[in-house]
Amino acid sequence: MRSLRTIGVLALLCASFFCSASAFAAMQAKPVEWKQCKQRFRVFIVYNDAT
């Protein structure tokens, strides 16, 4: 019974580690500019850099 409890605790620790890895991710915003005829456009591409 004790080994089953140990396995459960280890599984919970591993799961919490992998779930908390995304906590270090940050939103990135990159400007994109282009011109079409005489009009200029500017937008921001926003994405999450979590890998």
Question: Can you give the pTM of this predicted structure?
Answer: 0.42
Total domain count, the chain? 1
Does 31 reside within a domain?
yes
User: Quick check: 31 and 42 in contact, CB under 8 A?
Assistant: yes
Q: pLDDT: is 12 or 1 the higher one?
A: 12
Does 38 reside within a domain?
yes
User: Quick check: 29 and 35 in contact, CB under 8 A?
Assistant: no
Does 32 reside within a domain?
yes
> To which residue do tokens 């620790």 refer?
13
Does 12 reside within a domain?
no
Residue 48: what pLDDT?
85
Q: What is the pLDDT of residues 9-50, one digit of tens each?
A: 777 666 666 655 556 678 889 999 999 999 999 999 998 887
Does 7 reside within a domain?
no
Range of the domain at 29: 24-51
